[in-house]
Structure formats: C-alpha cells, structure tokens
Amino acid sequence: MISLFNKPEQANLKIEDDRTGLEIDTLRRALADNLFYNQGKFPEIATKNDYYMALAYTVRDRLLQRWLNTTQTYLDKDVKLVAYLSAEFLLGPHLGNNLLNLGIYDQVKQAVTASGLDLDELLAQEEEPGLGNGGLGRLAACYMESLATLEIPAIGYGIRYEFGIFDQEIRDGWQVEITDKWLQFGNPWELARPEAAVMVKLGGRTESYIDENGHYQSRWIPDRVVKGIPYDTPIVGYRVNTANTLRLWRAEAPESFDFQMFNVGDYYGAVDQKVYSENLTKVLYPNDEPIQGKQLRLEQQYFFVSCSLQDMIRMHLYTGKNLDTFHTRFAVQLNDTHPAIGIAELMRLLVDEHHFPWETAWEITQQTFGFTNHTLLPEALEKWPIDLFGSLLPRHLEIIYEINRRFLDQVRLKYLGDDARLARLSLIDESGPRYVRMAHLACVGSHAINGVAALHSELLKRDTLRDFYELWPEKFSNKTNGVTPRRWIALSNPRMTALITQKIGDRWLTHLEDLRQLEPFAENASFRQEWRQIKRAIKQDLAAYILAKTGIAVNPDSLFDIQVKRIHEYKRQHLNVLHIITLYHRLKQDPNLDIPPRTFIFGGKAAPGYFMAKLIIKLITSVADVVNHDPDMRDRLKVVFLPDYNVTLGQRVYPAADLSEQISTAGKEASGTGNMKFSMNGALTIGTLDGANIEIREEAGAENFFLFGLTAQEVYDLQARGYHPWDYYQGNGQLKTVLDLLAGGYFSHGDTQLFRPLIDSLLYHDPFLLLADYQSYIDCQEMVSQAYKDQEKWTRMSILNTARMGKFSSDRAIREYCEEIWHTQAVPITLKAYVQADAGLRVPNSGVK
C-alpha cells in the first residue's frame, strides 16, 4: 500500500504525474525518464552512478512540492524563523534519509527492483557531503532534521565547501589525506539560486563623515568584493509536509570587478582576481590545526555570515517589515564561535547601512543571537590577531572596540576598581600580542548562552565563562545534545527498527521516550533471543565489510569493542591501545586465560597537522599488525582500524557494537554524540564521567553502564596537587610492562624511536591522565569481559540501554531550544491547490496569495 500521509488536500489526481506519482509503475517510468532526460543515457550504457542520479532526481521531484510550499508559507505567513548559523554541516548521504522521511522507501525499492536494479547498490553510489569535521557539524545536521520533523520554520546557513573533510587512506599504517571531490559527478540535491546572490566586502579601510542630519557616520571602503551564491538543499521532515532549506554559500568573483580590469587591459589580473575569490569556499579547515595566520579561515567565516545576514534582512524587508522588528522574525543561533562575527556584522548593517542609532541596533542584535559553546579546552577557544582582523575587517574591528568600550563601562560600574576582572572580560586579549576573543564577543552580543551537556554547562559557568556567568547568570542554560533517531536508528538499523515497531508500534520514531515500553521485553527470553540474533546478523555484515576493506577476518561471535571518533589525545584512543596490549601480554603469558574473544575496532581521522594524533593511528595499526598475525591470538583478539570514518560508515558501525568506548579524560569532552548513537543501538558503554556520558548513565541506570576513571573534580585536584605520571609507571607492574613493550620496539619491528614521542609524553607530562586512569580502566574492562560471558544478562542490559535513550533524541533538544531560547512554534504546512501534482506548466505561486 502506498503511503499517502502527505496527500494534497485537493485529491483530484486520477492519472499519476510522473514527477509526483508513487505507484510502482509510475516510479519505474520516472526513473527511466530521468535516466534518459537528465543523465542523457540509454539503459545499456548507463553506469550505476547514472542510475543513482536518475533515482535521486526521481526522489527530488517528489519532495519539491513540499519544499517550495514550505518556503512560500514562511514568506507569506510572516512566521518567526530559526536561522542556524554553522561553519559545518556534516549531512551524510541524502537519498536513504529522504526515502525514509517521505515514507516512500518500500515502493521505491520495489520500483528499483522492478527495473532490474538493487537499491542498496544505488544508495552506495552517493558521495556523502562531508562538510564538517565531526561532532559539531553532525549535530547541526541532526538539528536541521529535527527542526523539519517538528515543523519549526528554520533555515540553516553555512558554506558550500568544494572540498569537504579529506578522505583518509591508510598506507603502511599511516594516515594519508586525499582530496574529497564530493561534487565531481554533480549534486542532485541542491539548487543554485544565482538570482539571490549577495556581495561581501573585504579588506580596505574606513572613513568617517557627517551625514545630512549632522550625525557622525562611518563608511567602509573595501579593497575587494566577493559574490556569494546560495545553493539550497531541502531538509525533509519525517512524515510531515515540512521541507526546510539548508542554504550554503559559494564564493565567486563579481563580473563587474572582472570587467573593470578587463577594460583597462589587465586580463590576467582579472582572472587572478577570479581565482582568488573562488578560493574562499574551496576547502573545509580541519579542527586542531594551528590557526595562526589562517586568514582564509576568517574570510570564510565572515563571508558566510555576511551573506546570511544580508539574506535575512532582504527577506524581512521583502515582507514589508521594518528592521526594528528583525529579532521578532529571526532567532539566529551561533554554532560555536565560528559565526560570532555575525554580531559585529549585524551592528554594521543596522548602523552603517540602515542608519539605526547604536543603542537600538544593539538591542536588536542582542535579542537576535543565541550562542552555543562546544568546548572547554582553553587552547580551542577561537581568537584572532588584531592585525589580521583589522586588515580584513577594519570596520568590524572599530565596532568591536565600541562594543567593548560600552561593555567595560558597564562592568566598571558593577565591579569598581577590579581591573583584573576587566582584563579577563575584555573582548580584546592584551596579555601579550593582542587578539580578538570570539567567545567574549558571542557572550556579550547574545541573550542566551548554552553548553551541550549538563556537566559541560556547569564547567562553563565555573571555569571557562565564569566572569560572564557572574555578570549575567540569567543568560546561561544547558541544552544537552541529541541525535536524530531517523538516521541513527531507523535508517542505519532497519532490523532492530522492525523488531521494536512490531512490539510497540512506530510512534517511538518521533517520540523516542516511548522506547521505555521495551523495558518489560528485557525479561522476555524469546525477545532477548531475537535481539541477539539481530545483533549477530549486523555484526556479520560488518565483519564482511571489514574483510573487504582491510583483509582482516573477524569473528562475529567475538565482543565488538568499538571506538570511532576524531583522533585526539583527550579522547584517549591510546588508552584503549594500552588495554589491548595488556590483554595481549596476559594471553601470551597464560594461553589458558578464560576471556571472551574480542574484536577491537577503531575509526577516525586525525587533523593533518596534528602529529600526535597521526602517531596514535600508526600505533593502532602497528599493534593490529602484531596481534592479528600472532597465531597465539587466533580467534581471541583482533584489532582493526577502519579507514575513512564518516557518516556513511557510522551508519554501519553503531548498530554492530557490543561495547562503546567513551573514555575521554573527565572534563574534556563537551558532550559527545557518538556515545548516544551507540547506546540507542543497544551497545553498552565503558566510559568516564564526562560530557553526556553522565546523563546516559543516569538514564540507562548505573548497573547498565561500565564506569571507570577519575571525575572532573578529581582530575582538577590531582593536577592542582601536582601530577607525576612516572609514579604510576613505577608503581604498577602491569602498566610498566605494557609501556616497556611499546618503548622496546615490540610493535615497531624493534624500532625504539617510532613511538618515543607518545611514550615520553605519557611518562613525563601525560596531560590527559592516561596513567592515572589506567588501572581503573583495566579493572573495568575485566568486568566487561565477565558480563559478556553471561549472554542473557548482557542482552538484558543491551535492551535496557536502547529502551532508556529517549532523552537523547534531537527532537527533545530542539524542543528545549524552541521553548527556552528561540521562542518559536510549529507551523504545519498544508499542500495547497497551487502545488497540485498536475499543475503542469502553470507558474507556481500564480493566483495563490
């Protein structure tokens, strides 16, 4: 039966339209049509990718009505919109998600099969848009999906990087970066909107003048102008008519600039200019790269923020409104400080270009912005050298000085004579070379500031943003992250989804707290058996994938112990390795040791300039080589590094996990979101009291969570007392053996130098307290092994983990943002007559308003 939840109100469609119809035969015809007319291919010579493209267009046709209708409704109805500003959107592949959310998965699968094709093979063709580094970018993507599902008017703004996060290959155990050419075969999911292009100024100088009313004004004389072209992608809500827009900007040289130079004969200069402009949105910067001198990154940030604010202002004015109500029309959320320049930019647009008095402009600006912080690591707080900032954005620097002057005047009134506090709060860091502090700009210019997990929000108030909290406690709140159950359960784990739905119906997909209804089934032996069989089948699939990609054969009955995330010292992948070596050594010593077989699976990218992270990858692959080739370990231990971890691979990996490794040093991981994806899919967690792990444990129950390690407070106290990792090395025989094996070249063909930097860092500094947490981790892993031996008990715990993860739906998170920060409400979309399927060549929109 065909799902018609979204049937147009005026259901007068007798004959199905090839662009909208959902009958199997119509879909099959549409696919053939798109192959011919869009790909320009006869079936005999069409490639798999041609078929993928034809299918993507077939699906896009079926969402365009919802999309255009949604956009038009927002314009017509003058509703309040969320504008989610993010330098990253890590979307992952669209096709499967759109099929799922539109409710047409089954009939499309049938139509594809009827055409002699395999849907899974076509799905595998899609190059994922990897326009983000990791957690922060993926969070933005989950939030866009939840906004659409909750029918909240929203628009995402970001950058259309020509090259997203690099593809990772492993050669000789080392990471090699390959350019991500995600656009090389075209992108069927976006529509360029060149008619909505905007101009962005850069560089130059400012000038002051007195306007006709005798007011002092400032004007920016840039030395460059770049054109921003929007590319729109629909974000379809789950089984609703809402399809919001993700608007990504691409930089281009404005024609007028070329022509100017062309006219004076400087043809090559004009081409240079063009190439230079287009560089702006070429490539995504990896995080954890030293940012010193990365002018292009600041240009990217300003470019997309300026384009987006100009776009919003144009929309607002188009609906006939005055800009003094801008904040009632748009709630702009800053995804970390990367778009924080928006605060100075909105001030500039209001004051310089729309001639608002400063005070009014500031009121509007503060009411408009909210700021989400994603980090506690002080070295990760964004700051820009004053010289660089001033040469690129001279007017914004003036505006920031003025914001700062007024802000510090206010502070001075409250804390008379407290100069140290003034220096700490200032938007300008003057402790050495001068910098603009982007987090301070974001705090001062926003009405709401939030962290991304309970602990993180508390630590923000206590440490990182303490002075701001003391000044404005009412601005602070917590919004624990969430992930979308549509992609991270329904799409990635169809087997488990079917089993759950069979037992409790399908409401849980939009009301994840309903999963609690599964709790009683944990006590049902036949349900447990089904649960186990499903996990086994998924592990079998992953094993086949591992064999195909790495040549390593793994046993699907072994415990799949998985750590997938960016490689970073604070995330402590190397602590996981210390455990592997410990087990390896124990098994070598005592081959009769009774421990369940384990497969250790790693995945993650290292920033290209982060030496230690790259060395950790080499460490994992080196240990893997020795362990996997040791006949004594056969079927007992396996170690796998899965290359090129990304969203697509995540969808394979999370459902296959028995154990989820969430082992960051307490107080360092703001939230984590992979931790939620694992647990939802029935993995048990071994983790520290860090980020959202704490809340996951609270929800799942302490008895269903493997806890180890120091608390954030203990970490802090230990470091304050003076931490001496060497003492742990000396005092723990097992730890010493493990580190000695490593240092002695056991895993590096006798090379004692290869891992020296890692070992020295651990023995003499150990900033992330691996040695302090080592024994606790090993003991906890022993409990994991014991628990796994009792499969019935393990399965019970697994079911309860899934049943109790309702809180971690991004729907819950988005509801909290809507109620407490954005003050926005759902606006359901009805498909009106003017978008009926047989509208033929009528101009959409005509005669409708």
Active site residues: 374, 565-566, 571, 673, 677
Contact indicator for 565, 828 with CB cutoff of 8 Å: no
Rounded least distance, CB 749 to ligand 26Q, Å: 35
| CB closer to ligand 26Q out of 193 and 383 | 383
Distance CA 656, CA 555 (A): 12
Provide DSSP, 74-133.
HHHHT--EEEEE-S-EE---SHHHHHHHHT-HHHHHHHHHHTT--HHHHHTTPPP-EES-
Amino acid at position 656, single letter: A
| CB closer to ligand 26Q out of 682 and 691 | 691
Q: Which stretch binds ligand 26Q (CB under 6 A): 128-136, 163-171, 207-215, 828-836?
A: 128-136
Distance CA 768, CA 783 (A): 24
Rounded least distance, CB 297 to ligand 26Q, Å: 5
Degrees to nearest 5, angle at CA 434 with 428 and 436 = 40
Q: Does 382 bind ligand 26Q (CB under 6 A)?
A: yes
Q: Which stretch binds ligand 26Q (CB under 6 A): 150-158, 423-431, 610-618, 663-671?
A: 663-671
Degrees to nearest 5, angle at CA 820 with 818 and 821 = 70
Rounded least distance, CB 670 to ligand 26Q, Å: 4
Helix (H, G, I), strand (E, B) or coil at 831: coil
Question: Looking at residue 806, what DSSP letter applies?
Answer: G
Distance CA 792, CA 183 (A): 48
Distance CA 483, CA 585 (A): 39
Distance CA 443, CA 10 (A): 49
| CB closer to ligand 26Q out of 645 and 747 | 645
Contact letters (x/-) for ligand 26Q, 452-471, by CB under 6 A? Answer: x-------------------
The length of the chain, given as a count of residues: 849
- CB-based contacts of 339, cutoff 8 Å, min separation 6: 85, 86, 87, 301, 304, 305, 308
Q: Which stretch binds ligand 26Q (CB under 6 A): 153-161, 284-292, 384-392, 394-402?
A: 284-292
Distance CA 162, CA 809 (A): 31
Q: Which stretch binds ligand 26Q (CB under 6 A): 130-138, 526-534, 548-556, 596-604?
A: 130-138
Q: Does 481 bind ligand 26Q (CB under 6 A)?
A: yes
Rounded least distance, CB 688 to ligand 26Q, Å: 13
Query: Tokens 């303490």 identify what position?
Result: 466
Rounded least distance, CB 802 to ligand 26Q, Å: 20
User: Among residue numbers 318 through 347, which ones bind ligand 26Q (CB under 6 A)?
Assistant: 338
Rounded least distance, CB 206 to ligand 26Q, Å: 26
Distance CA 43, CA 408 (A): 69
Q: Does 805 bind ligand 26Q (CB under 6 A)?
A: no
| CB closer to ligand 26Q out of 372 and 704 | 372
| CB closer to ligand 26Q out of 364 and 676 | 676
The H-or-E segment that residue 458 falls in is: helix 454-459
- Tell which one of 28, 160, 297, 579 touches ligand 26Q (CB under 6 A): 297
- Tell which one of 670, 696, 770, 799 touches ligand 26Q (CB under 6 A): 670
- Tell which one of 111, 139, 350, 578 touches ligand 26Q (CB under 6 A): 139
- CB-based contacts of 322, cutoff 8 Å, min separation 6: none
Q: Does 439 bind ligand 26Q (CB under 6 A)?
A: no
Distance CA 311, CA 69 (A): 19
Buried b (16+ CB within 10 A) or exposed e, 678-698: bbbbbbbbbbbbbbbbbbbbe
Dihedral sign from CA coordinates of 580, 583, 589, 593: negative
Rounded least distance, CB 740 to ligand 26Q, Å: 33
| CB closer to ligand 26Q out of 74 and 89 | 89
Q: Which stretch binds ligand 26Q (CB under 6 A): 129-137, 383-391, 717-725, 792-800?
A: 129-137
| CB closer to ligand 26Q out of 450 and 628 | 450
- CB-based contacts of 787, cutoff 8 Å, min separation 6: 684, 706, 793, 794, 797
Cα distances from 345 to residues 103, 352, 508, 716, in angstroms, run 41, 10, 42, 38
- Tell which one of 21, 134, 228, 655 touches ligand 26Q (CB under 6 A): 134
User: Among residue numbers 347 through 376, which ones bind ligand 26Q (CB under 6 A)?
Assistant: 374-375
- Tell which one of 68, 192, 196, 291 touches ligand 26Q (CB under 6 A): 291
| CB closer to ligand 26Q out of 344 and 518 | 344
Contact letters (x/-) for ligand 26Q, 690-709, by CB under 6 A? Answer: -x------------------
Provide DSSP, 499-560.
HHHHHH-SGGGT-GGGGGGGGGGGG-HHHHHHHHHHHHHHHHHHHHHHHHHH-----TTSEE
Rounded least distance, CB 668 to ligand 26Q, Å: 9
CB atoms within 10 A of CB 711: 15
- Tell which one of 69, 175, 242, 287 touches ligand 26Q (CB under 6 A): 287
| CB closer to ligand 26Q out of 569 and 669 | 669
* Packing angle of the helix pair 573-589, 733-743 (nearest 10 deg): 100
| CB closer to ligand 26Q out of 139 and 309 | 139
Q: Which stretch binds ligand 26Q (CB under 6 A): 163-171, 209-217, 249-257, 671-679?
A: 671-679
- Tell which one of 92, 96, 135, 156 touches ligand 26Q (CB under 6 A): 135
The H-or-E segment that residue 751 falls in is: none
**Tokens at residue 812, please?**
């819950």
The H-or-E segment that residue 350 falls in is: none
- CB-based contacts of 717, cutoff 8 Å, min separation 6: none
Contact letters (x/-) for ligand 26Q, 548-587, by CB under 6 A? Answer: ----------------------------------------
Rounded least distance, CB 675 to ligand 26Q, Å: 8
- Tell which one of 119, 136, 615, 649 touches ligand 26Q (CB under 6 A): 136
Q: Does 133 bind ligand 26Q (CB under 6 A)?
A: yes
CB atoms within 10 A of CB 431: 10
Helix (H, G, I), strand (E, B) or coil at 66: helix
Q: Which stretch binds ligand 26Q (CB under 6 A): 9-17, 135-143, 187-195, 649-657?
A: 135-143
Rounded least distance, CB 607 to ligand 26Q, Å: 9
| CB closer to ligand 26Q out of 189 and 808 | 808
Measured at CB, which residue is nearest to ligand 26Q?
135
Q: Which stretch binds ligand 26Q (CB under 6 A): 127-135, 208-216, 360-368, 711-719?
A: 127-135
Distance CA 824, CA 816 (A): 11
Rounded least distance, CB 373 to ligand 26Q, Å: 9
Rounded least distance, CB 596 to ligand 26Q, Å: 30
Rounded least distance, CB 672 to ligand 26Q, Å: 5
| CB closer to ligand 26Q out of 365 and 481 | 481
Q: Contacts with ligand 26Q: how many residues (CB under 6 A)?
A: 21
Given the rule CB under 6 A, which residues bind ligand 26Q? 133-136, 139, 285, 287, 291, 297, 338, 374-375, 382, 452, 481, 669-673, 691
